[in-house]
Structure formats: C-alpha cells, structure tokens
Copies of this chain bind each other. A is one copy, B any other.
Amino acid sequence: MTTETLKLYHSASSPNSRRVRIFLAEKGVQVTIVAVDLGKGEQHGDAYRAINPRRVVPTLVLEDGTSISEVPAIQRYVEEIHPDAPLFGTTPRDKALITMWERRAEQEGFASVMEAIRNIAPGLKGRAIAGPHDYEQIPALAERSRQRAANFLADLDDRLKESAFVAGERFSVADITALVTIDFAAKAIDLQVPAGLESLKRWYDTVSSRPSAAA
C-alpha cells in the first residue's frame, strides 16, 4: 500500500526513526522517505526547522502540510488511517494494555539508553537533550541511566516468562519499542543482553526475524 502524499523525514541511524519505519513495514505502508543528515547538522538548518522547530527526527508531514512529530503521535496517525494489522490493539482493554507496555518499554528502556549516550558522548557536549535548548551533560546521570537500561532488560525477561510478546499474545507496538531499544543499547552503549535471560532471548530471536526488523 502506497501513501506517497505522506512524507517521513528520518535518519537511517536514528532509533526513533526506526520505530516508525518498523511500524510502517508491519502494516505494509510505503510513504515518501526523506533523509535528514544528522551528522552534517541538517536538522539545525532553516529548511528542516521550518518543518520541525524542535529539530528532531522523525517528522511525518501530511498532505495538507501539517507536521507531526513524536513517535507515538506519528504511529497513532498511521494506525488511524491504516488500521490493519492493528499494532495498538482493537478493544479498549487491549489498547490500554498496549499503551501501558509500550510506554514502560520507552520510559525505562529506550529513554534510559538515550539518556546514557547523550550524557557521555563527546560529540554531544552541550547537547545532552535533543530539542531547541542546549543542556550540559551529566556523566553521573549517564551511569545511572545505564543501570536503568540493564534493569529494564532483566524486568523484560521476567515479563516474557509469562507472555509471548511484550503486551500479550500478539505482536504490538510495544515489541517494536523493545526491539529497537535492545539493538540501540548494543550499538550505542555496548550493553548486550546478558546470558541467562532466556525468555528475552527467545522473544528477541522471534521479533528480530520478522521482515520488518530490517527497516
């Protein structure tokens, strides 16, 4: 299914962009893809700031020119216009549970890894938080965040002892966030899934072999 009138501004290396790309791939939806070169600072240029004044990727631009940023907002829009396959659930109970589990994966996992790398990477000095304001790095925070990310992996293993997927018996957006978090943690802060977390490993092998994982 092609929806060329939708434009996704993204970066190939951005984990937030990948969350959206996998979401689209799971639904079989193609949009117009526009790369933003973060290495060259293209997100800080006037052209991109006109699209997203917060200077972050991804941004989804609708046919009428409306810019949608924030990953869950973009995913919500795509779910509304392409309901199949549902990734946020179909009943009120499932929608609530998937929102809850996705959010935990994001707040405890994804955000911790992001905070860990942003507060220590030499290239992000003075830019510890993405967005329009500059903030200094806090190395002690990078350390604490790394510990949080490690705790997230252990907690996720516990969860996956009792559940096939993160939010229940079906693949959902919560699995996308958790998968991207694990790959991002390995690459950005060299945090690997420890040996012994068998349920997490079983789940990871399953979700990372879906075709969407290549997105």
Q: Measuring CB to CB, which residues of chain A are less than 8 angstroms from any residue of chain B? A: 60, 62, 64, 66, 68-70, 72-74, 76-77, 80-81, 92-93, 95-97, 99-100, 103-104, 108, 128-129, 131-133, 135-136, 138, 140-141, 144, 147-148, 151, 155
Additional 11 contacts, C-beta under 8 A, given A73-B96, A77-B95:
A60-B96, A68-B96, A68-B97, A70-B104, A72-B103, A73-B100, A76-B99, A77-B93, A77-B96, A81-B92, A108-B131
A76 contact from B70, B80, B95, Cβ within 8 A: B95
Q: How many copies does the complex hold?
A: 2
A70 B95 Cβ-Cβ under 8 A: no
Specify which chain B residues have a CB less than 8 angstroms from the CB of A76 in the assembled complex: 95-96, 99
Query: When the two chains form their complex, are residues B95 and A80 in contact, meaning their CB atoms are under 8 A apart?
Result: yes
CB closest chain-B residue, reference A91: B80
Contacts of A100 in B (CB 8 A): 68-70, 73
A74 to B100, CA, bound (A): 8
